[in-house]
Amino acid sequence: MNKKRTHQISEEVKKSLSDIIQHKVKDPRIPEIISVSHVEVTNDLSFAKVYISILSTDKTPEEVLKGLNKAKGFIKKELSKSVKLRAMPDLIFISDDSIELGIKMSKLIDEVNYGDR
């Protein structure tokens, strides 16, 4: 499958997963402030790596990933209702800490620029 089509499918899966995780999954391990930052679907559509940004400080990434993996069947069923594919890819949830790293880098840059004022 060409890269453009794979990218379109990845974006559609990302939008649908964001909505499903934030509004339909009722697991206490999954915080209310969670974001699907990126989705990579393989060319054969058999797997989808789902990068999750956890913006809550009271839940560890391991807890959240356990909750998402426990609800994977429900999530795939809901995803199949909104994204029409012949076969639904198997979801692989991965913790994405790029937002936290960006905040840390921004603070370090601010310290360097404005620290001695």
pLDDT tens profile 10-43: 999 999 999 999 999 998 888 888 889 999 999 9
- CA–CA dist 61, 57 (Å, integer): 10
Q: What is the 3-state secondary structure (H, E, C) of 9-66?
A: HHHHHHHHHHHHHHHCCCCCCCCCCEEEEEEEECCCCCEEEEEEEECCCCCCHHHHHH
CATH of the domain at 37: 3.30.300.20
User: Is residue 88 classed exposed, middle or buried when 0-12, 13-18 and 19+ CB atoms within 10 A define those classes?
Assistant: middle
pLDDT of the residue at 97: 82
| Exposure string for 12-38, b = 16+ CB within 10 A, e = fewer | bbbebbbebbeeebeeebbbeebebbb
Task: Please give the Cα distance from 97 to 7 (Å, whole number).
Answer: 22
d(CA 85, CA 108): 45
pLDDT value for 117: 58
**pLDDT of 57-112, one tens digit each?**
788 888 999 999 999 999 999 999 999 888 889 999 999 887 778 888 989 998 88
- What domain range includes position 49? 3-114
Total structural domains within the chain: 1
Q: How confident is the model at residue 55 (pLDDT cuts 50, 70, 90)?
A: confident
Q: What is the 3-state composition of the chain as percent helix, strand, coil, each rounded to the nearest 5? A: 50, 20, 30
